[in-house]
Amino acid sequence: MLAFAQLIYSLDINIVFVALPEIGAGLGFSEHTLQWVVSAYTVCCGGFLLFGGRAADLLGQRRVFISALWVYALSSLAGGLAWSPVIIVIARAIQGIGAAMLFPSTLSLINRLFEEGPSRNRALAIWGGAGASGLTLGSLAGGILTSFCGWPAVFFVNVVLAAIAISAAFFVLPKDSLRNERRRFDFPGALTVTMGATLLVYAIVQGPEDGWLSGHILLLLVLAAVFLLAFAAIESRSHDPLMPLRLFRNRSLATGMVITFIYMGTFGALPYFLTVMFQSVMGYSALQTGLAFIIPSLAIFAGTQLGARLANWLPVRTTLLAGFLTGTAGTLALVPAAFSGASYAEILPGLVISGAGQGIVWTAMWIASGSGVKHNEQGIASGMASTTLNVGNAIGIALLIALSGSGAENLQLETSVSSLENAIQLAFYLAAAGQMAGLLVSHLLPFKAATGVSAETT
């Protein structure tokens, strides 16, 4: 049930990419505004994750989980019925808020219902298999649905999936436990962190388009810093803070947050560049692009299961090292196959190896992020880790696009194929370098045995 909900969340991250040209043509988007079909979702999701995580702790994880699915279903329906660019961008923004409630409530339910150690690791592997594979399956579903049913289908499919999940949740998930202590919602903290995070993600998303040194981008970054500093000041004085600052003393959680950031900025950015490569370099149709992601999706799923097994046998730190090493090797193997005359067979080894490493890291990093956290703080801990995940994706794609210097971000066919080839190859090199950074950060994790018993204090 929780894995199914995670599949819905992950599918929606990439499912729209393949349909963007059809959405732009169908609704009359300009070349410079089409990106907001993606960016509206990213900005609102990144801005509301901490809010969603704390809401799960205070209002009840199942209650927030079901509410998030309702938000997802209704906003997806509005997106599929959209008749103008404004309507679909608003729908995507509301979808992002639903995602910001769904992800941390789902993860915190797993961490609450399964005891830390092998049982939780197995649960996270199943959940992670659905989530990590969903990032790639989104491209597959987007290609198939767009080709056979038109672009509205990439929204309507979420309505059906969310309805199934809502119905099942009432029968599968236990009711929220009653809490005797009185807890108040930290509204000033929620307001400042939501504003700060939203402005930060907006600036990161819009920076490559408008220029990092443009006046309004610099202003947004300054305002984001002011709100986030105000949030830190509020939390340090609050009797019942939205995000207890002492959680940063949990070294496993703090390191896990850095790893989620690196993960989504490297592994999570690959489907974007692979989509550009398949369509604009190798000349695949939307359907062919979707089909090309089937095998790597299976590799990611297999990697998540292997990640749980490794985490039960070895320290989580060692599992992360193995995942990042495997993923780096696979990403580097993509480079020599990124040219217009390449066959699918030539790029397949890199896709499989990279996918396996991606799956291993995905499972292990969530094990790390949930270790040593109290049940009544799992929601905010999940929100903290998922915020860095979301921000990492926005920054990662923006940096890889900017540093590759390609113009490939617009998926413009008039851009020369040779320049796209060079840009995508450079993006793969940069992603591999980022994955090596993740390998180094993994060394900061406290040593923990496979049973979850710490061998040193955090």
Token pair of 299 as six digits: 């590799």
Distance of alpha carbon 303 from alpha carbon 290, whole angstroms: 20
Residue 330: its pLDDT value, please?
96
Full residue range of the structural domain in which residue 384 is found: 246-446
Residue 52: its pLDDT value, please?
82
Residue at 369 is within a domain: yes
Closest by Cα among 31, 122, 77, 71 to 411 = 31
Final residue in a domain of this structure, among 150, 173, 196: 173
Q: Is the CB of residue 393 less than 8 Å from the CB of residue 42?
A: yes
How many angstroms separate the Cα of 322 from the Cα of each of 254, 258, 271, 316, 362? Answer: 20, 17, 22, 10, 12
> In terms of C-beta density within 10 A (0-12 exposed, 13-18 middle, 19 or more buried), how is residue 212 classed?
middle
Residue 357: its pLDDT value, please?
95
* Contacts for 343 with CB less than 8 Å, ≥ 6 apart: none
Residue at 200 is within a domain: no
Distance of alpha carbon 75 from alpha carbon 80, whole angstroms: 9
Token pair of 444 as six digits: 């900061």
Final residue in a domain of this structure, among 173, 194, 219: 173
* Contacts for 65 with CB less than 8 Å, ≥ 6 apart: 5, 56, 101, 102, 105, 106, 109, 169, 173
Residue with tokens 């509206």: 40
* Contacts for 309 with CB less than 8 Å, ≥ 6 apart: 125
Distance of alpha carbon 33 from alpha carbon 24, whole angstroms: 9
DSSP state of 456: S
- CATH number of the domain that residue 250 is part of: 1.20.1250.20
Token pair of 458 as six digits: 């955090």
261/371 same-domain check: yes
Reading the chain (458 residues) residue by residue, the pLDDT tens digits are: 677 777 777 777 667 777 777 788 778 776 666 777 877 887 788 778 878 877 887 788 888 889 999 998 999 999 889 888 889 889 988 998 898 888 888 878 887 788 777 888 888 888 877 776 666 677 677 777 777 788 888 888 888 888 888 988 888 887 877 554 555 667 788 788 888 877 887 787 777 677 778 888 899 999 999 998 998 888 888 777 777 778 888 888 888 889 999 998 999 888 888 888 888 888 888 778 778 888 888 898 899 889 989 988 888 899 999 999 999 999 999 999 888 888 899 999 999 999 999 999 988 998 888 777 777 677 777 778 877 887 787 788 778 877 776 444 444 444 567 778 888 899 999 999 999 999 999 887 765 544 444 433 33
Distance of alpha carbon 53 from alpha carbon 197, whole angstroms: 14
* Contacts for 200 with CB less than 8 Å, ≥ 6 apart: 46, 220, 221, 224, 228, 391
Residue 411: its pLDDT value, please?
42
* Contacts for 292 with CB less than 8 Å, ≥ 6 apart: 274, 278, 284, 344
Final residue in a domain of this structure, among 144, 173, 202: 173
AA identity, residue 247? L
Residue at 309 is within a domain: yes
Distance of alpha carbon 8 from alpha carbon 69, whole angstroms: 9
115/262 same-domain check: no
Q: How many residues does the chain have?
A: 458
Tally of domains within the chain: 2
394/311 same-domain check: yes
Residue at 205 is within a domain: no
419/338 same-domain check: yes
Q: Is the CB of residue 310 less than 8 Å from the CB of residue 364?
A: yes
* Contacts for 358 with CB less than 8 Å, ≥ 6 apart: 132, 263, 267, 270, 300, 303, 323, 327
Token pair of 41 as six digits: 């979702």
Q: Is the CB of residue 176 less than 8 Å from the CB of residue 208?
A: no
Residue at 457 is within a domain: no
Residue 451: its pLDDT value, please?
43
AA identity, residue 148? F
130/276 same-domain check: no
Residue 129: its pLDDT value, please?
74
Distance of alpha carbon 258 from alpha carbon 159, whole angstroms: 33
132/42 same-domain check: yes
Distance of alpha carbon 329 from alpha carbon 206, whole angstroms: 32
437/294 same-domain check: yes
> In terms of C-beta density within 10 A (0-12 exposed, 13-18 middle, 19 or more buried), how is residue 441 classed?
middle
